[in-house]
Amino acid sequence: MNRTSKEIVQENRDYTLFSWSVQGTANPMHITRGQGVWFWDGDGNQWLDFSSQLINLNVGHQHPRVLEAIKKQVDELCFAGPGFATEPRGLLGKKLAEVTGLAKAFFTLGGAEANENAMKIARTYTGRDKIITRYRSYHGATMGAMTASGDPRRWPVEPGMPNIIRVFDPYCYRCPFGKEPSSCRRECVSHIEEIMQMEDPKSIAAVMVEGITGSNGLLVPPDDYYPKLRALCDKYGILLIDDEVMSGFGRTGKWLATQHYGIRPDIVTCAKGLTSGYMPLGSVIVSAPIADYFENHMLWGGLTYSGHPVSCAAAVANLAVYEEEQIFQNVETEGAYLANRLEALKSKFQCVGDVRYKGLFSVIELVRDKATKEPLAPFNGTSPEMAKLAGYLKSKHLYVFSRFNMLWICPPLIITRAELAKGIDIIEDALALLDGELKPVLEEEVIHASR
Ligand SMILES: Cc1ncc(COP(=O)(O)O)c(C=O)c1O
């Protein structure tokens, strides 16, 4: 049955619910195929994927080695219950221990479930209840993970899960303490100690943070943030849970973003880049002391699809691609080029307030005016200018994730220089148009102020 793209979209709209959308305004694109950093829509348009779908398609669309591993596992054994041992499950656990420096992995279906289980494990292991998280964070959409998030998407589920305590973020461009990184006293860490004391440190099981905050602004912390946070957790016997769902597996050029800062978390959660999205899979990886604890204590957790053999086989192949095809080297080289281009955009355009990046994980923060830093769209909102910018990029078939006043550039890690340059050139044109539109407003304000 040959159906038109329009019919397929209509059927999706009629019979399925789309995430984070008022259903009447959902406008899904029909995607038909993908290859590397490209995908095609139902009208035959070729798009450059500057968002790696949902910042997860790290090895790009249709990598033959991952496809082959999935097909082989499907033919051999498509499913085994979570109580069975399989070869891909063991191989993957061993590899994850090696790359994280931790001990044992528990498998889930995605990032939210990984964080749910990480919090449960931390509570069981420490016998404490409270979890400290940050305001500008996203840990997933299930009830506990959503409550743990600071992201405004948590508001509708409140009161959610009890005993989540939120703290401020290392957001140097808009420091919540009004400081500058060169002269501050890292209040972004020291205020956490004060909060721990007010909350009774002996009641706090864990601090859970994103390795590098992703969808809440791509906040790259100062170099000594993590060593200080690690020391603070150690001082009070509090576990450090590192949510690497978005920032992990090569996105920043290392297995984990926190590896840039020389610390080791007690628990790591991951998903997205674990299989590059080819199969659903998440994982909670725990340190040796935690793993030892569960040798003679019950692990209160389970999922029908935990350790799914096809997902594990996809992950084993995907991790091998990272290593054997020197993907992290490409992230370093192309990340350096991206950094230069972003800094140039910041110097050139009034509307670019800040650029933040690590490897191929980056964001452009847009403002109405560089001096006042007034955001181009409010927190948890949008603006006609942001909508127009997104519309322009769409018209050029550049697929970019944008939210509030920010634009993320997070392409597949296999991207070539020419592909990266092509996408950034389009963004540069869009920013020139935006600056042109904002300029008359700015000039008017200057004239008004000088009267
Ligand atoms: C940092 C982080 N943690 C957790 C999640 C949730 O992962 P999932 O959507 O696989 O449940 C996400 C998703 O974007 C994320 O970015």
Residue nearest to atom 4 of ligand 1 (CA): 139
Give Cα 153 distance to the centre of its chain: 15
Instruction: Confirm or reject: Cβ of 144 under 6 Å from ligand 1.
Output: no
Is 414's C-beta closer than 6 angstroms to any atom of ligand 1? no
Q: Is the CB of 112 under 6 A from ligand 1?
A: yes
**How many angstroms is it from 153 CA to the middle of ligand 1?**
13
Cβ pair 151, 215 in contact under 8 A: yes
- Residue 435's DSSP bridge partners are none
Buried b (16+ CB within 10 A) or exposed e, 376-405: bbeeeeebebbeebbebbeebebbbbbbbb
- The full set of domains in the chain, from first to last, is 5-62+326-450 (3.90.1150.10), 64-324 (3.40.640.10)
Distance CA 231, CA 156 (A): 35
Q: Whose CA is nearest to atom 13 of ligand 1?
A: 140
Q: Which atom of ligand 1 lies at the shortest distance from residue 115's CA?
A: 4
Average pLDDT over all residues of the chain: 96
Residue 99 pLDDT exceeds 70: yes
| Among protein residues, the one whose CA lies closest to atom 3 of ligand 1 | 139
Q: Phi first, then psi: what are they for 418, rounded to 5°?
A: -65, -40
- Both structure tokens of 345: 């955009």
Residue 344 Cα, ligand 1 centroid: separation in angstroms? 31
**CA angle (159 as vertex; 157, 161 as ends), nearest 5:** 90
Whether the pLDDT of residue 450 is over 70: the answer is no
User: How many angstroms separate the CA atoms of 288 and 433, rounded?
Assistant: 54
Give the tens place of pLDDT for each residue, 268-304.
999 999 999 999 999 999 999 999 999 999 999 999 9
Residues linked to residue 325 through DSSP beta bridges, in sequence order: none
Residue 368 CA, ligand 1 centroid: distance in Å: 30
- pLDDT grade for 448, boundaries at 50, 70 and 90: low
Helix (H) or strand (E) segment spanning residue 409? strand 406-409
In this model, does residue 441 exceed pLDDT 70? no
Q: With contact defined as beta carbons under 8 Å apart, do 337 and 417 qualify?
A: yes
CA atoms of 167 and 134, how far apart (whole Å): 5
pLDDT score for 451 = 54
How would you class 31 by CB atoms within 10 Å of its CB: exposed for 0-12, middle for 13-18, buried for 19 or more?
middle
Q: What is the dihedral of CA 17, 12, 37, 74, to 10 degrees?
A: 90
For the chain, the residue count is 451
Q: How far apart are CA 158 and CA 392, in angstroms?
A: 36
Q: Is the pLDDT of residue 440 over 80?
A: no
Residue range 11-37: mean pLDDT, rounded: 97
Binding site membership of 139 for ligand 1 (Cβ less than 6 Å) = yes
Q: Band the pLDDT of 439: cuts 50, 70, 90.
A: confident
Distance 55 CA to ligand 1 centre (A): 10
CB count, 10 Å around CB of 433?
A: 13
Ligand 1 atom closest to Cα of residue 210:
1
Task: In whole angstroms, give the CA distance from residue 61 to residue 276.
Answer: 9
- Is the pLDDT reported for residue 442 higher than 60? no
Helix, strand, coil percent content, the chain, rounded in steps of 5: 45, 15, 40
pTM, full prediction: 0.97
Predicted confidence at residue 151, as pLDDT, reads 97
Q: Is 271 in the pocket of ligand 1 (CB under 6 A)?
A: yes
Across 165-186, average pLDDT: 97
pLDDT of residue 207: 99
**pLDDT in the model for residue 1:** 66
Rounded distance, CA 413 to CA 255, Å?
Answer: 13
User: Which atom of ligand 1 is least distant from the CA of 142?
Assistant: 11
Q: What is the mean pLDDT of residues 26-35?
A: 97
Q: Give the Å distance between the CA of 441 and the centre of ligand 1.
A: 38
Answer whether 246 contacts ligand 1 (Cβ < 6 A): yes
Using the predicted structure, report yes or no on whether residue 444 has a pLDDT greater than 70.
no
Asked if pLDDT for residue 446 goes beyond 60, the answer is no
Place of tokens 């829509």: 41
Q: What is the pLDDT of residues 188-227, one digit of tens each?
A: 999 999 999 999 999 999 999 999 999 999 999 999 999 9
pLDDT at 2: 85
Q: Pinpoint the alpha helices (H) of 296-359.
A: 309-324, 327-348
For residue range 411-424, list pLDDT tens digits in order. Answer: 999 999 999 999 99
Task: Order across the sheet with 398-399: list the strands.
Answer: 31-35, 38-41, 46-49, 398-399
Judge whether 102 and 242 are in contact, CB under 8 Å: no
Ligand 1 geometric centre to CA of 21 (Å): 17
Strand-pairing partners, residue 364, are 355, 407
| Residue in 174, 187, 169 with CA at minimum distance from that of residue 133 | 169
Q: Are 300 and 276 in contact (CB under 8 A)?
A: no
370-389: pLDDT as tens digits: 999 999 999 999 999 999 99
pLDDT score for 443: 62
Q: Is 174 a residue whose pLDDT tops 80? A: yes
